[in-house]
Chain A
Amino acid sequence: GAVVSQHPSWVICKSGTSVKIECRSLDFQATTMFWYRQFPKQSLMLMATSNEGSKATYEQGVEKDKFLINHASLTLSTLTVTSAHPEDSSFYICSPSLNPYEQYFGPGTRLTVT
């Protein structure tokens, strides 16, 4: 099956700092990247969709200036949480996709903002 890596797997940062999360598809090229976040005991909520070389499309209620997404290549996408606050503490999961019917998931990054 497809291999997806995310880095870091967990991170603790102080309020006001920025955190960058990397997502790589190791054995395939993803035309589309989806970013999800999951709060404790809740479902995965889609944050944004990006296509390689294009600006990301954000879901309603997700601040594009706070969650910066870069999809510079077909194998790498990054999500930067800027000026993090404790309410941004969550489990962030990337999902590279070959097409709407083949979507894979990274192992997730657990962010804790203190």
Chain B
Amino acid sequence: RKEVEQDPGPFNVPEGATVAFNCTYSNSASQSFFWYRQDCRKEPKLLMSVYSSGNEDGRFTAQLNRASQYISLLIRDSKLSDSATYLCAVTPHNKLIFGAGTRLAVHP
């Protein structure tokens, strides 16, 4: 089993849609959780950290469920510029391990 698993995607949504990505992790000792955004042929950029209480940053909301070892990212009011691959990442053993990513394509 992979350490971090994500929805395979791709997600094709119209502008203004709400879209949710899910991610599960296998190592219960993981301490930190993140969502990254990666554009084609670029390095990943940190979108947001994920906290146990859940956190929001503008149109983006991240949630963590430690009991179920599950992380989610909700994007509201999708913009064309949100088109990218979204990677969840966790840190078991002080190493950042990524999921395979979910591709999002927002169309007019």
Q: List chain A positions with a Cβ less than 8 A from chain B.
A: 34, 36, 42-46, 49, 91, 93, 95, 100-101, 103, 105-108, 110
Query: B32 to A110, Cβ gap below 8 A?
Result: no
Q: For the complex, would chain B's binding face be called helix, strand, loop or mixed by DSSP majority?
A: loop
CA distance A36 to B43 in the complex (A): 10
Which residues on the B side are within 8 Å of A108 (C-beta)?
41-43
**Residue pair A105, B95 in contact (C-beta under 8 Å):** no
Of B42, B43, B45, B95, most buried by chain A (CB within 10 Å of CB) is B43
Closest to B49 in A: A101
Q: How many chain B residues touch A (Cβ–Cβ < 8 Å)?
A: 17
Nearest-Cβ distance from residue A57 to partner chain B, whole angstroms: 9
Known contacts A49-B95, A95-B96, A103-B96; is-contact A44 B87 (Cβ 8 Å): yes
A49 to B95, CA, bound (A): 8
Q: Which of A36, A45, A103, A107 has the most CB of B within 10 A?
A: A103
Q: Chain B nearest CB: distance from A107 CB in Å?
A: 5
